[in-house]
């Protein structure tokens, strides 16, 4: 596995390759969820590139940027063992400049749900993903469905900016008790981890209600909120897959999304109906 830190060196290295390239952008602290993305990229492409970059612009003031988990050596091993060809490991100076051109998230979809309480978050995500995609120029790029709003906005960016990469969405990987894998789970104490299980139980409840043909969005959201108590809720929302408001669940075209705070950790999860 080759490790490259300089964007222009990576561009030069990949330029002559005639192979298909699968790209997995990450912020490191890799877990089974990331490994699932890498595996899919490995299956579908001749070359696999993974980036590890904790992107400062997607964190707001007071968020966990400075303490975001760093596991560089373990991450390198995971990448090497998962068959990654190139690990791109830039520092912030290689990616950002003092007088910076940047992207703005769309005014509606970018400022609801997670974007409501983290207004600059998706500007930062879209800007860095655009930069990374331009550096790697992959055939396909792989993102987890757990960050459903991020996935939706990146797909929108690719479409609206007429980019030629294919965005591939990969199912959320869960612990055996249902907790969605996240690099931030390591912040949870044992008690908080148990409390966090309310998130997947409430999504499970939503699925059960929908199977019983209870499709009223207001009713399902009410029952989810009751199951989540006493956690601090940022949002419980049921939208169609274009992230538009709906009154009744549209089976095969809806997403149930939750974000809560457990201790001081924001956790999000969703289920695609």
Residues that bind ligand PAF in the complex, under the rule CB under 6 A: 25-27, 55, 58, 125, 128-129, 147, 150
- Rounded-to-10 torsion of CA 240, 245, 247, 251: 0
> Which residue, 20 or 123, is less far from ligand PAF as judged by CB?
123
> Which residue, 128 or 157, is less far from ligand PAF as judged by CB?
128
Tell me how far, at minimum, the Cβ of 24 lies from ligand PAF, in Å: 9
DSSP tag of 104: -
Nearest residue to 89 via CA among 79, 99, 98, 97: 79
Tell me how far, at minimum, the Cβ of 163 lies from ligand PAF, in Å: 15
Nearest residue to 26 via CA among 79, 103, 99, 93: 79
Candidates 34, 97, 121, 204; catalytic one:
34
Measured CA to CA, the distance from residue 12 to residue 46 in angstroms comes to 18
> Which residue, 68 or 235, is less far from ligand PAF as judged by CB?
68
Count the Cβ atoms, other than its own, within 10 Å of residue 53. 19
Residue 121: active-site member: no
Tell me how far, at minimum, the Cβ of 235 lies from ligand PAF, in Å: 18
Backbone angles phi, psi at 178, to 5 degrees: 105, -15
> Which residue, 147 or 195, is less far from ligand PAF as judged by CB?
147
Tell me how far, at minimum, the Cβ of 164 lies from ligand PAF, in Å: 19
Measured CA to CA, the distance from residue 52 to residue 235 in angstroms comes to 29
Q: What are the residue numbers of the active site?
A: 34
């Amino acid at each position: 596995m080759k490790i490259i830190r300089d964007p222009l060196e990576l561009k030069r290295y990949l330029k002559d390759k005639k192979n298909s390239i699968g790209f997995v952008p990450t912020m490191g602290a890799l877990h089974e969820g990331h490994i699932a993305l890498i595996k899919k990229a490995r299956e579908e492409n001749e070359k696999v590139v993974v980036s590890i970059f904790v992107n400062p612009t997607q964190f707001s003031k007071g968020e966990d940027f400075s303490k975001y988990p760093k596991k560089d050596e373990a991450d390198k091993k995971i990448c090497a063992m998962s068959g990654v060809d190139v690990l791109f490991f830039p520092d912030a100076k290689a990616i950002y400049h003092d007088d910076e051109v940047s992207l703005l998230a769309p005014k509606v979809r970018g400022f609801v749900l997670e974007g409501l309480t983290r207004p600059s978050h998706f500007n930062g995500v879209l800007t860095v993903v655009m930069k990374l995609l331009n550096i790697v120029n992959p055939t396909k790029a792989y993102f987890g469905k757990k960050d459903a709003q991020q996935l939706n906005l990146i797909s929108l960016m690719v479409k609206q900016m007429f980019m030629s990469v294919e965005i591939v969405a990969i199912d959320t990987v869960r612990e055996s008790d249902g907790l969605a894998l996240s690099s931030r789970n390591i912040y949870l104490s044992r008690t908080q981890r148990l409390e966090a299980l309310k998130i997947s139980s409430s999504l499970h409840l939503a699925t059960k209600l929908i199977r019983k043909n209870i499709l009223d969005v207001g009713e399902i959201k009410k029952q989810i909120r009751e199951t989540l108590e006493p956690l601090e809720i940022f949002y419980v929302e049921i939208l169609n897959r274009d992230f538009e408001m709906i009154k009744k669940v549209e089976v095969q075209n809806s997403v149930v999304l939750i974000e809560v705070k457990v201790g001081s950790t924001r956790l999000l999860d969703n289920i695609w109906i």
